[in-house]
A and B are shown apart, each in its own frame.
Chain A
Amino acid sequence: EADIYQTPRYLVIGTGKKITLECSQTMGHDKMYWYQQDPGMELHLIHYSYGVNSTEKGDLSSESTVSRIRTEHFPLTLESARPSHTSQYLCASSVSYGYTFGSGTRLTVV
């Protein structure tokens, strides 16, 4: 059973819309991560957090932003969606290196 939840699972949205992808975990993990997975399967880290009020940009530049106001919640926001943002977004959490992944949000921007 999943202890990390991502909503929505699928989202189709028009260009220019603001969207927020939700990620919540119930394990009390301090570290959380957002990965972008392109159609060729490769995963790229776009944001991570060590804990509340701590966020860092990942290895792949992204126009998205994140926040970490509560330990269990790590939402990702796109202020103005574009077709180039079409991808799968995976959220993960960990204590150290034991990552637990959510099921992902598949985003399509039309």
Chain B
Amino acid sequence: AQSVTQPDIHITVSEGASLELRCNYSYGATPYLFWYVQSPGQGLQLLLKYFSGDTLVQGIKGFEAEFKRSQSSFNLRKPSVHWSDAAEYFCAVASGDSSYKLIFGSGTRLLVRP
């Protein structure tokens, strides 16, 4: 069965520093992968997605992610973090069947130091 692991529960970075959030997936075929962000008290917003093609994917708000099949990873990066990036970040993999279900990781809480 598909699964997603986000090994970091919390990450704290200083404003202006670079960021990398880790995501590992378990899936038999080429996965459809997603990163979502959730601000406090809000729903989830799609940052970016990977279906196929170029393994470096650009998203909104200056985020990017790189798909590495050999490492079963889809890590999220941002070169310079802003205080407004403090939020919960979720990696997800599609179920691969006709239900279009997404399987989410447990999330990483990003804290930004001034």
Contacts and interface: CB of A to CB of B under 8 A. Distances in A.
Contacts of B45: 101
Interface residues of B, number: 25
A56 B106 contact: no
Q: Is the interface of B mostly helix, strand, loop or mixed?
A: strand
Contacts of A92: 43-44
B106 to A, nearest CB: 5
Interface string A33-55: 10100001111010010100000
B76 to A, nearest CB: 16
Contacts of A50: 99
Query: Among B49, B51, B100, B104, which residue has the most Cβ atoms of chain A within 10 A?
Result: B100
Contacts of A31: 100
Contacts of A6: 43
Interface in B50-82: 51
Interface residues of A, number: 27
Interface of B: 32, 34, 36, 38, 41-46, 49, 51, 88, 90, 94, 99-107, 109
13 contacts: A35-B104, A41-B90, A42-B104, A42-B106, A45-B102, A58-B101, A59-B101, A90-B43, A92-B44, A97-B51, A97-B94, A101-B43, A104-B41
Interface of A: 4, 6, 31, 33, 35, 40-43, 45, 48, 50, 56, 58-59, 90, 92, 94, 96-99, 101-104, 106
